[in-house]
């Protein structure tokens, strides 16, 4: 029986660090096991300029518990970006790429893009500079069922982006459906991140009769068993185009109160790599964990693979229910549950 596994140190290609006290609390958890994280730019005032990106990067790295931890920042795309600053920041590697949030698709996305065709000039710049387009792939028109938003985005937007910019490297973030997995597999220059929660939950865990479990509510919303299975297979076996991105997205417990407008997001960084290890073990694919957690991501982003290693021990890990410090209280994903792996 395997008691320990040793993997190249992972990176997390999709994390929300927020700002203020929340940032200092949650940064400790992501820097616990990862060498690099993509820090999503959907802060209250979104990160849209080189100066804001440099500042945000510094702030996160200052709060990390490991010296060599690196925060990588994509630009938050809006309808009215300063193009010369954007191109300068790409060329100086201040922006790792750019994140497309369709307007109002998720938390803090009201500055997002209204008409994607109007920012095709930005995709051209990304393609020319060999930088990545990260996409929140959901179309949130009122006539579209919440479970079909990813499919509609692919059909009505992503297909067209893909065929218009053939050399543009795209990450379809937090792939959540069988349809999304299939799109990533069958198109070139596109990869996908997969979260632990999309491989552990189905819509029954969110919508129970007429109630919503706020702690399992996230965007894209988790879907059916068929989608969960397809995501597990993609991460664990079909393993060159998919990589680790937790979409760990903390919200204060009060913002998860159902009386307030419900904030979408699941906080998983206190047990991120451990949850992935448990899923890979259930799939009998532990030997493929490292490719997913530590190799496919840097390869796609044209970055070096990490030199350090991380050891996971097979032991009972009881995930604490909350992350709590002074005025911050966040519900941990899988809080109060036991899993089989713990990073040393």
Quick check: is 247 catalytic?
A: yes
Nearer to ligand NCD among residue 10 and residue 214 (C-beta)? 214
Residue keyed to tokens 């940064």: 27
Strand ranges inside the chain, DSSP E: 4-8, 12-15, 36-39, 70-72, 74-76, 97-100, 132-135, 170-172, 190-194, 207-208, 211-212, 242-244, 309-318, 322-325, 328-331, 338-343
CB of 107 to ligand NCD, least distance (A): 3
136 is a contact residue toward ligand NCD (CB under 6 A): yes
12 is a contact residue toward ligand NCD (CB under 6 A): no
Return d(Cα 311, Cα 198) in angstroms, integer.
Answer: 24
Nearer to ligand NCD among residue 38 and residue 119 (C-beta)? 38
Under DSSP, the state recorded for 49 is S
16 is a contact residue toward ligand NCD (CB under 6 A): yes
Task: Draw the binding track, 62-91, toward ligand NCD (x: CB under 6 A; -: no contact).
Answer: ------------------------------
Nearer to ligand NCD among residue 108 and residue 271 (C-beta)? 108
269 is a contact residue toward ligand NCD (CB under 6 A): no
CB environment 116-140: b (16+ within 10 A), e (fewer): beebeebbebbbeeebbbbbbbbbb
227 is a contact residue toward Zn ion (CB under 5 A): no
Instruction: Tell me which stretch binds ligand NCD (CB under 6 A): 61-69, 104-112, 234-242, 285-293.
Output: 104-112
Among 70, 138, 247, 274, binds Zn ion (CB under 5 A): 247
Catalytic residue among 145, 247, 255, 308: 247
264 is a contact residue toward ligand NCD (CB under 6 A): yes
256 binds, among ligand NCD, Zn ion, none (CB under 5 to 8 A by kind): none
101, 42 Cβ separation under 8 angstroms: yes
* Cα–Cα distance list, 182 to 186, 188, 227, 238, 279 (Å): 6, 12, 11, 11, 21
Nearer to Zn ion among residue 18 and residue 32 (C-beta)? 18
249 is a contact residue toward ligand NCD (CB under 6 A): yes
Return d(Cα 288, Cα 142) in angstroms, integer.
Answer: 40
12 is a contact residue toward Zn ion (CB under 5 A): no
Angle subtended by helix axes 83-91 and 120-128, to nearest 10: 20
3-state secondary structure of 36: strand
218 is a contact residue toward ligand NCD (CB under 6 A): yes
136 binds, among Zn ion, ligand NCD, none (CB under 5 to 8 A by kind): ligand NCD
* Cα–Cα distance list, 52 to 48, 74, 104, 212, 243 (Å): 7, 11, 22, 36, 27
CB of 247 to Zn ion, least distance (A): 4
Give catalytic residue positions: 247
Please give the residue ranges that form the binding site for Zn ion (CB under 5 A): 247
**Residue ranges that bind ligand NCD, judged by CB under 6 A:** 16, 42, 106-108, 136, 218-219, 247, 249, 264-265
């Amino acid at each position: 029986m395997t008691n320990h596994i040793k993997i190249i140190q992972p990176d997390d290609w999709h994390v929300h660090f927020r700002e203020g006290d929340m940032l200092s609390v949650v940064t400790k958890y992501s820097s616990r096991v990862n060498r690099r994280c993509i820090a999503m730019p959907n802060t209250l005032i979104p990160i849209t300029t080189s100066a804001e990106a440099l500042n945000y990067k510094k702030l996160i790295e200052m709060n990390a518990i490991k010296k060599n931890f690196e925060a990588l920042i994509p630009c938050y795309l809006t309808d009215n970006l300063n193009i010369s600053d954007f191109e300068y920041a790409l060329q100086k590697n201040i922006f790792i790429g750019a994140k497309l949030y369709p307007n109002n698709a998720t938390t803090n996305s009201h500055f997002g893009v209204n008409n994607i065709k109007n920012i095709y000039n930005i995709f051209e710049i990304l393609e020319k500079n060999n930088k990545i387009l990260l996409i929140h792939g959901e179309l949130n028109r009122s006539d579209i069922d919440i479970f079909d938003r990813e499919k509609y985005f692919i059909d009505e937007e992503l297909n067209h982006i893909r065929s218009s910019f053939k050399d543009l490297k795209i990450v379809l973030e937090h792939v959540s459906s069988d349809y999304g997995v299939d799109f990533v597999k069958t198109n070139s220059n596109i990869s996908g991140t997969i979260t632990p929660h999309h491989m552990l939950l189905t819509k029954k865990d969110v919508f129970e009769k007429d109630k919503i479990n706020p702690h399992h509510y996230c965007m894209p919303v988790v879907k059916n068993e068929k989608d969960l299975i397809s995501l597990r297979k993609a991460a664990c076996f079909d393993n060159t185009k998919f990589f680790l991105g937790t979409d760990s997205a903390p919200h204060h417990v009060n913002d998860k109160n159902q009386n307030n407008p419900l904030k979408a997001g699941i906080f998983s960084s206190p047990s991120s790599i451990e949850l992935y290890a448990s899923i890979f073990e259930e799939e009998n694919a532990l030997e493929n964990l490292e490719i997913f957690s530590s190799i496919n991501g840097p390869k796609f982003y044209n970055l070096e693979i990490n030199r350090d290693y991380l050891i996971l021990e097979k032991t009972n890990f009881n995930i604490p229910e909350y992350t709590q410090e002074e005025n911050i209280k966040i519900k941990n994903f899988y809080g109060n549950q036991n899993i089989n792996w713990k990073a040393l």
